[in-house]
Structure 1
């Protein structure tokens, strides 16, 4: 059955808004060419979108030709503000942006391991509020939160997980009650994969796996352009993966004895120490193992450090977990991300790819993630922007 006139108008409006968000500013003539719509139809939709306050004239195309056909139209970026939070074990980082993703204000705050739940939640929420005020008077429309742990796919809530601070879950609830905004929470590894897919090392891939190497280990599974979370939200929890050399088996309560025991930051730091690459200097509270592992990987890559044996053994370990993922999913591409993966860069990625090639008949390219520490915040901002645009640009019913 053909679409009704109102449905057709809504579909055309949404298409034009998506093009303006991705490629704008654009003239009406450019919109006509990109959408394939007639000139009168484009003129009508431009008038509707201007009347709704979603687009505006932002300039003219060309220095000579003037008139309606030369006007450049763009999204009204300050129609809404967005926020993203990266909630770590011992810190919170915040960025506030406009509807097109341009950063307006940002801030960060360490939260000590001894901080009680109430004060920790208040500190993190106050940081977000201060940053939002610094960005201007436009209210927040959507807030994306990236946190370690499992997200219940049925409720969208952060599940209670042993080993993580209780203030993480309390913060999400507090923000939902405190803000007149949509608050979304997602696993940090999944958000990093979303960011790498949209704006990083996996822009040319619809199917890949991101291997997160930091304080813990995890994976994000992107198949056909969609994140796969699993029935309980635990897809990619490869820290629990039984692997040779881990010295035991993991349990339902703890991942010791699983892949985490070989590739988590404490294990990497211990491996580095055995190779004479102990961390130099003080490291931040709550991140001692991760900082030591990152420092060791970076120093191993420095000229004259003779870090090859350490990197080779680290790549051997990573290939064990990666080979299990590859044998089940055959993603064709594996990204090394997180603090340790980012520090290892292309040198570590090439070592892991070499070992995978020897272990599996399934051809897998291994790349280093390109967004580094900012991947989680970038992904959280993308999630917030998608939610805002879905609401603001939604076709009429």
Structure 2
């Protein structure tokens, strides 16, 4: 009888232990609560986020534009350290959120500052791992990403190359992190230390949505370090004229500034026999948050407007040599077909480097041609300048 009682006591203690452990496990797996103080922003602002997680757990916030996706691409031309082979693979997705950022606890701010010291060589995957935020990285990992085996000949004929087999989930996640860096470029745009967590599990964060981001719905999800997620909190970012959403760039822009800049550039561009694109291109890349591929593509058709009016006015004063113009135009037609594909294969830094050197060489050449020594030796150029002045005066008199 005593043995039976002893056995019953042991079973009772075991059941109590199992019950307590299951309760503790359920508490650990409880979904975080999440609230926001507002559901509407006007061209950016601050969203106050509050909530609670089980005591002792870390919490991360994943924030993204829910209904605005943009194109992101990356060309892998780095030699594989294991095989020594350069892959030459082009990765592309059209599902990248126009805005994406993970917010980590404030005590990890020093780690973010340390990561910034790597400069342009920082790695998004290493940053996520270093901050312990792997559980919060979810949305871009599910993007559909295509990859192409790129070749120079494929670019020449207007192709990205041979479409390769789809990647598995692990590889897709790895490449998505590289695409996030390629798209947003700066650590501050994808990572921030804003979450304050109390010992009892209560947390808060001020999520700043900067001006010029995409309009539409945004989602905020709280994720604990054991991968338990909250239900998404939704808010909307609205914009109004003169702000316009640029779909291909994934940003909003006050259209008045580009308008005024282009007005000035077109005047000087046509004076030099150009549409002004070579001036407008670096200015847009430097002053506005636009991808270099979008800038290059946007500037090309805008040049038609200044070139069209310039052609009309130059033809009236008979300054156009049509035979030479058509011959040059044919070669430019071929180059313009190849250029857009090559633009996809270079980074913003490579684009700026090449464009900068081209402008420096052209500037040096034009300056040299204005020196007294050059003009004295070049009698033909002096004659052309005199003829130019004569025709301009005749055209001015004809208008009077």
Q: Does TM, normalized by the shorter one, top 0.5? A: no
Q: Which has the higher contact order (CA 8 A, sep 6+)?
A: 2
- Computing the radius of gyration from Cα coordinates, the structure with the larger value is 2
Give the shorter-chain TM-score range: under 0.3
